[in-house]
Structure 1
Amino acid sequence: MVGNDIVDLAEARYASNWQRPRFLDKLFSESEQTYIQNTANPFRMVWRLWSIKEASYKLYTQLHPVRFYNPKAFECETNHNSWVVGFKDFQCYIETTETANYILSEARLNRQNLGSNIIKFESTGQKQQSNELKERLLSCVADSYQLVKNEMGVPALTNGEQILSVSLTHHGSYGAFAIG
């Protein structure tokens, strides 16, 4: 199983005011806010932590299919650039990559290297980007696989006999998919 999330930094810079009052309090624990305050680039740390929380949530909902919104409860901890997230009795490991253009995080139950395929979209509309992402995913697997979603909207790949977990993410000009 896998969860991933990507943040287009140009889009985040344009569309979000993370410095407004109470923004950090609503999303981040005290220790996470300390990470943000003690880094050379608080903007990047905010979006790194956000992508970590989103990737973890996507993985969690594959194991526990229920929708809810409580990002602050997904507690991020780091030890020399390696991240672990805890929520209740759930724990996962995060790998993150950052470029000048995006931050991508991937959550797994065991420590693994990043496996997400990153896409720079050719299209600009959200629906077109979603379709482009799904087409790129399906082009990477055998023709016998189809993309399906369960009753909670969690995607998976199936060929009728086997089910593979998958995570899809897109934001701004970038998207990514990972197969579990």
Structure 2
Amino acid sequence: MISAGNDIVSFAETNPVRTKQPAFYKKFLTDAEVKRYHLLPTGAMLFEHYVWLLWSAKEAAFKFLQRHNPLLVFSPSRFIVDNIIAPTKADGWIGSVTYTNIKFGFHSVLNNDFVHTVIDLSTENTTPYRAEKRIATSTLADQSSSVRAFCLDQIATLFPEDDFKILKTPDGIPVLRSESSGLSYPLSLSHHGNYIAYSFCI
């Protein structure tokens, strides 16, 4: 299945006290997912960060699937994070999330400011690209224009011989279109607060 999915959460836009309350996190985390936190190495991450990492994995998987099923409704508790592994180096968290019988691998970059999760898109024939960035303002218009400009600037650096444009499918899902080949590639854009991010695979 060819697609793209990523999600970023800015911790400055969240409420740590509320996030740690069962009445809040049990709306989208299963009991098994909550228990999995206690299996992580002691002090590996704050519980409120864990909650938002799992949220971002579920949201990224939803975006990945939505490209193929535009009528899909996001129901976080149906996307189950069934594995999560602490980083051994500075390479981020990895894990898997399952929706019905479809399992996705994911990779998350986590720090004190944000968590950015990308569904693993790599195959033997493609190369995945991802990046995140802080922007000065957080209005919806600035987020939307900034993430598109950020993505296109990065692509121009990677493929200076080509010209890419960001378009949308009839269902409103973003794609990268190569002007030289006419081919389109799945693209996922995300933003939250002062952070923007993208992922794609070519």
TM-score, normalised to structure 1, is 0.86
- The Cα shift of 1:94 comes to 0.4
Q: Indicate if the aligned counterparts of 1:106 and 1:114 stay in contact, CA closer than 8 A.
A: no
> How far, CA to CA, are the matches of 1:79 and 1:134 in structure 2?
30
Question: How far off is 1:27 after superposition?
Answer: 0.3
- Tell me the CA shift for residue 111 of structure 1: 7.9
% identity of equivalent residues: 23
Specify the alignment match of 2:159 in structure 1. Answer: none
The size of the alignment, in residue pairs, is 179
- Whichever residue aligns with residue 29 of structure 1, its letter is T
107-116 or 159-168, which moves further after superposition? 107-116
Greater RCO (CA < 8 Å, at least 6 residues apart): 1
Unpaired stretches in structure 1, ≥5 consecutive residues: none
In the superposition, relative to structure 1, how do residues 99 and 111 fare at CA in structure 2: closer, same or farther (>3 Å)? farther
Match of 1:84 among 89, 92, 96: 96
Corresponding residue SS for 2:103: strand
Displacement, 1:23? 2.1
**In the TM superposition, what is the alpha-carbon distance from 1:71 to its structure 2 partner?**
0.6
Distance 1:34 1:7 in 2: 22
* Alignment match, 1:74: 79
Instruction: Give the whole-Å Cα distance in 1 for the aligned partners of 2:192 and 2:176.
Output: 22
Matches within 5 A, 1:118-133: 118-133=132-147
SS in 1 for 2:14: helix
Output the CA distance in 2 between the equivalents of 1:109 and 1:178.
Answer: 9
Structure 1 residue 62: Cα displacement: 2.0
Calculate the TM-score normalised by the size of structure 2: 0.78
1:46 maps to 51
Give me the CA root mean square deviation: 2.5
Q: Which has the larger radius of gyration?
A: 2
Deviates most, 66-75 or 37-46? 37-46
Q: Which moved more, 1:32-41 or 1:122-131?
A: 32-41
- d(CA) in 1 for partners of 2:83 and 2:12? 25
Does the 8 A contact of 2:6 with 2:188 survive in 1? Answer: yes
Q: Look up the equivalent residue of 2:144 and give its one-letter code.
A: S
